[in-house]
């Protein structure tokens, strides 16, 4: 474990210091150890703030994994910090305004997750409509010979899909679902004239004209609980919600109530408001598919992410442009 000193940055062959907050994926961890002097607070007997005071006074770069929070007080403890790289696309866990104020550049994972998240969203939707997980459970419990054929599901083709947030992930989802014969509409912060899909100026209007809502937007103050009781009512009792964004996009308590009262058709949920806690009322529902924030977790992604994180760090330490900078204008949950 390396100790900090006032003189930072590259000197000859000395590797730059990089502060970690949590143990990263092992493949990333290995790649980083080879190139950087890693500060690993969890290995220290010192409490976190004392560790930072003792060792991180000169650290210029921070790697954020696992959506660990980066707020004002943490930044106060890192006076030399000039660069934060997060392994997520979402940046709602980072106080971007504070970073901007202190001249700290931020890089995220760009669009690296888009394919895997889009695939997962489609998989969840097929699973909910066609009861893949529920009927798999039925088979494994030995019910097929005992209780007969499984009840019928619902056809995906011709469903009206409303995408909330037509960024990189939303666009990949749209492209896929079109091939299944779905019609695509969207709500986004602004209309995108170059896309062939129907734009709705509000999520409520989108929901009223959709059979399925897919959530693939960032979590910001504006989008917190954007899927609320009114939107669920507009979507209707056969409507399906697929959430591969952030749990807090949905008023989770309302969703659970709607599901329990059969006022909504079903849901595929990879994210929850208070992960890893999941409302237990959902555990007995066959029209719900649950996942543990796994939508990005592929082997291919982990290789690509490693390469991207290291490329961004190398760019920072050599004063070159970052590959996936987060704009200072990106609105975060804190701003």
Partner 1 sequence: MESLGVLLPVPMNAYLESELARRYKVFRLWESPPERRQDFIRANAAAIRAVVGNSKAGADADTIDALPRLEIVACFSVGLDKVDLAKCRERGIRVTNTPDVLTDDVADLAIGLAIAVLRRLCQADRYVRSGAWLSKGDYKLTTRFSGKTIGIIGLGRIGLAIAKRAEAFGCPISYYSRSEKPNTNYKYYSNLVDLAANCHVLVVACSLTEETYHIVNREVLDALGPKGVLVNIGRGPHVDEPELVAALREGRLGGAGLDVFEQEPYVPEELFGMENVVLVPHVGSGTNETRNAMADLVIGNLEAHVMNKPLLTPVV
Which spans of this chain sit near partner 1 (rule: CB under 8 A)? 115-116, 118-120, 122-124, 126-127, 129-133, 135-140, 142, 144-145, 148-150, 152-157, 175-176, 178-181, 275-278, 283, 289-294, 297-302
Catalytic residue, candidates 55, 131, 246, 258: 246
Nearer to partner 1, 101 or 175 (CB): 175
The nearest distance, CB 295 to partner 1, in angstroms, is 9
Nearer to partner 1, 19 or 267 (CB): 267
In a 3-state reduction of DSSP, which class is residue 54?
helix
CA 296 distance to own-chain centroid? 8
- 246 included as an active-site residue: yes
The nearest distance, CB 318 to partner 1, in angstroms, is 30
Task: Give the integer Cα–Cα distance in Å for 113 and 281.
Answer: 30
Residue 317 in contact with residue 15, Cβ under 8 Å? no
Q: What is the CA radius of gyration of the chain?
A: 22
Nearer to partner 1, 205 or 286 (CB): 286
- 35 included as an active-site residue: no
Residues in the chain: 335
- 275 included as an active-site residue: yes
Buried-exposed string 250-265: b where 16+ CB fall within 10 A, e elsewhere: bbbebbbebbeeebbb
The nearest distance, CB 158 to partner 1, in angstroms, is 8
The nearest distance, CB 269 to partner 1, in angstroms, is 9
Catalytic residue, candidates 229, 293, 297, 331: 293
Of 1, 7, 81, nearest to 40 by C-alpha is 1
Residue 259 in contact with residue 267, Cβ under 8 Å? yes
Catalytic residue, candidates 30, 222, 275, 281: 275
Nearer to partner 1, 189 or 293 (CB): 293
The nearest distance, CB 159 to partner 1, in angstroms, is 10
Task: Give the integer Cα–Cα distance in Å for 315 and 322.
Answer: 6
The residues carrying an active-site annotation are: 246, 275, 293
């Amino acid at each position: 474990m390396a100790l900090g000193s006032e003189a930072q940055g590259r000197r000859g062959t000395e590797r730059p210091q990089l502060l970690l907050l949590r143990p990263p994926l092992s493949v990333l961890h290995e790649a980083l150890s080879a190139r950087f002097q890693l500060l690993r607070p969890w290995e220290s007997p010192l409490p976190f703030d004392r560790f930072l005071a003792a060792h991180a006074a000169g650290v210029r770069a921070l790697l954020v994994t696992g959506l660990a929070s980066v707020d004002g007080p943490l930044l106060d403890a890192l006076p030399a910090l000039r660069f934060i790289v997060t392994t997520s696309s979402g940046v709602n866990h980072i106080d971007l305004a504070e970073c901007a104020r202190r001249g700290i550049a931020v890089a995220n994972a760009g669009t690296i997750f888009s394919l895997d998240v889009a695939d997962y969203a489609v998989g969840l939707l097929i699973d909910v409509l066609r009861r893949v997980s529920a009927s798999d459970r039925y088979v494994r419990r030995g019910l097929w010979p005992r209780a007969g054929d499984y009840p019928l599901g619902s056809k995906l083709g011709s469903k009206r899909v409303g995408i909330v947030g037509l960024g990189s992930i939303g666009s990949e989802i749209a492209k896929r679902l079109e091939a299944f014969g779905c019609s695509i509409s969207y709500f986004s912060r602004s209309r995108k004239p170059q896309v062939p899909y129907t734009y709705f100026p509000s999520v409520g209007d989108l929901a009223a004209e959709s059979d399925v809502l897919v959530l693939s937007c960032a979590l910001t103050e504006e989008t917190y609980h954007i899927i609320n009781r009114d939107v669920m009512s507009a979507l209707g009792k056969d409507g399906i919600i697929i959430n591969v964004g952030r749990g807090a996009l949905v008023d989770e308590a309302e969703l659970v109530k709607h599901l329990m009262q059969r006022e909504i058709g079903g849901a595929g949920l990879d994210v929850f408001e208070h992960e890893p806690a999941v409302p237990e009322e959902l555990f007995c529902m066959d029209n719900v598919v649950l996942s543990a924030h796994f939508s990005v977790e592929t082997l291919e992604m982990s290789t690509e992410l490693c390469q991207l994180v290291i490329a961004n760090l190398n760019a920072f330490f050599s004063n070159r442009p970052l590959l996936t900078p987060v704009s200072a204008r990106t609105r975060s949950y804190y701003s």
